[in-house]
Amino acid sequence: MTNPTFGETIVKTAAAWGAVASMALCVAVLIASEFMPVSLLTPIARDLGMSEGQAGQAISISGLFAVLTSLFIAGFTRKIDRKFVLSSFSLMLIVSGLVVSFAPNYAALMVGRALLGVAIGGFWSMSTAVVMRLLLESAVPEGLALLNAGNAIAATISAPLGSFLGLHRLAGRVLLRGSAGAHCAPRVLIGGAITRAVLPRLVWAQKETNMKMRIAFADHVFTATLYDSPPARDLWSMLPLELEIDNYANNEKIAYLPRKLTEEGSGSFSNEAPGDLCYYAPWGNLAFFYAGYRYSAGLIRLGRLDGGVEPLLTRGKFPLRIERLS
The amino acid sitting at 7 is G
Does 134 score more than 80 pLDDT? no
Stretch 114-143: mean pLDDT, rounded? Answer: 82
Tens digit of each residue's pLDDT (9 = 90 or more) over 147-179? 888 788 888 887 777 777 666 544 333 434 444
- Give the residue extent of every domain in the chain: 6-198, 208-324
pLDDT band at 131 (very low <50, low <70, confident <90, very high): confident
Burial group, residue 312, by CB count within 10 angstroms (0-12, 13-18, 19+)? buried
Q: Do 239 and 322 contact (CB within 8 A), yes or no?
A: yes
Percent of the chain clearing pLDDT 90 (strictly above): 30
Q: How many C-beta neighbours within 10 Å does residue 2 have?
A: 8
Tens digit of each residue's pLDDT (9 = 90 or more) over 9-57? 333 444 467 778 878 887 887 888 777 777 777 777 887 888 888 888 8
pTM of the model: 0.55
Q: 255: closest CA among 245, 247, 263?
A: 245
CATH architecture of 6-198: Up-down Bundle (1.20)
Stretch 206-223: mean pLDDT, rounded? Answer: 86
Does 192 score more than 60 pLDDT? no
Q: What angle do CA 124, 24, 155 make, to 5 degrees?
A: 75
Q: Which fold has domain 208-324?
A: Cyclophilin (2.40.100)
